Amino acid sequence: VLIVIGIASCNSSNFISSKQTFTVKEVAEMLDDKLLFVDVRNTDELAHQAYDVKNILNIPLDSLVGKKSLIPKDKQVILVCQSGNRSGQALEILKKMGYTNTANMIGGMNAWSEAGMPVKINELPVKVYPKACCSDPNSENCGPDGTCKPNAKTETNKCCADPNSKDCLPDGRCKTDTKAMANLANKLYVYVFHGINQCTTCKNMKANTKATLDTYFAEELKAGNIVFQIVDVDDVKNEKLSEKFEATGTALMLHQIKNGKEKIIDISDMAFEKANDKEKFVADLKSKIENLR
């Protein structure tokens, strides 16, 4: 009598399991050159903590359909993310496209790191932009390259060659300009980033964010104290803004300016986890915004 267990032998030349979910322990026992990991987190998330394995691709969830050709059908593919939620969605998407060799790793990076499995911390290069001198680049306070001359006397300094850099305030002034910071009105920017190909979860995230703001923060929206913006990261006109927030796919960001200080809060994990449960999503986002007041 032959009993077939869900995990196929790792010695098989074409190791493909019939199982659709694996624990971290099971994946660890299967690690070899034939196994391919596909991380469906956004690229910027990998800067915090990445899977340290030999064969791995990064394909953000909302780019999965457009980049499916990168995923082979002749080897075992393990789908991973931060918590196992997005990789579970990726599994369903790929199944509908005819993939039978993919499986979701339960718990994602959270479970992987807790189990002591190999991870690596990536440090993204810090982009330094030259500080432009002032609103008039032909001012006597400016050097030939557009940067400020030493001891330039101006209170209208624009930030830099790239006004969307992390060194800039939303109005283009330098963060290092304390006077500009003090004069900047308190405001909360709510950004939903997305790509061309949007999954159901991504669409729900966008709709639920709008519903939260319209229902509980209508007055702040009308007064301009809260600004809601949907940003297509694949649109060239949004390239600088997407780069500033390191958004390469679907993401939900809160960008707060308060009392001359700036704070950026990435709540993408919460958004993905609860996007398909409107009640929980709205309650959580409402709470996070209220806590910033």
Tens digit of pLDDT for each residue in 135-181?
Answer: 444 555 555 544 555 554 443 444 444 445 555 555 555 555 444 44
- Give the per-residue pLDDT at 18: 87
What residue ranges do the domains of the chain occupy? 21-120, 128-165, 178-290
29-46 pLDDT, tens digit per residue, is 988 878 999 999 887 788
Q: Mean pLDDT of all residues in the chain?
A: 77
Please work out, in degrees rounded to the nearest 5, the angle formed at the alpha carbon of residue 74 by the alpha carbons of 70 and 77. Answer: 65
Q: Report whether pLDDT(124) > 80.
A: no
Which CATH homologous superfamily contains domain 178-290?
Glutaredoxin (3.40.30.10)
- Give the per-residue pLDDT at 14: 61
- In this structure, of 16-20, 104-108, 162-166, 285-289, the range with the lowest mean pLDDT score is 162-166
- Give the per-residue pLDDT at 39: 95
Q: Report whether pLDDT(2) > 50.
A: no
- Give the per-residue pLDDT at 168: 59
d(CA 51, CA 36): 12
CATH number for the domain formed by residue range(s) 21-120: 3.40.250.10
Q: Look at residue 24 and give its three-state secondary structure.
A: helix
Give the start-end residues of each E strand in 59-211.
77-80, 102-105, 119-120, 187-194
pTM: 0.47
- Give the per-residue pLDDT at 25: 94
Alpha helical stretches, state H, the chain: 24-30, 85-96, 108-114, 178-183, 200-216, 218-223, 239-244, 268-274, 278-290
- List active site positions: 81
- Give the per-residue pLDDT at 78: 96
- Give the per-residue pLDDT at 38: 96
Percent residues over pLDDT 70 in the chain: 73
- Give the per-residue pLDDT at 138: 53
60-87 pLDDT, tens digit per residue, is 988 888 888 899 999 999 999 988 888 9
Closest C-alpha to 254, from 285, 275, 278:
285
- Give the per-residue pLDDT at 85: 84
CB-based contacts of 117: which residues, under 8 Å, 6+ apart? Answer: 24, 28, 51
Q: Which two tokens stand for residue 154?
A: 């101006």
Closest C-alpha to 273, from 37, 119, 87:
87
Burial class (CB in 10 A: 0-12, 13-18, 19+), 75: middle
- Give the per-residue pLDDT at 201: 83
- For the chain, the C-alpha Rg in angstroms (whole number) is 23
200-251 pLDDT, tens digit per residue, is 888 899 999 999 999 999 999 998 899 999 998 878 788 778 777 877 778 8
- Give the per-residue pLDDT at 293: 77
d(CA 150, CA 204): 51
Q: Which two tokens stand for residue 38?
A: 């596909």
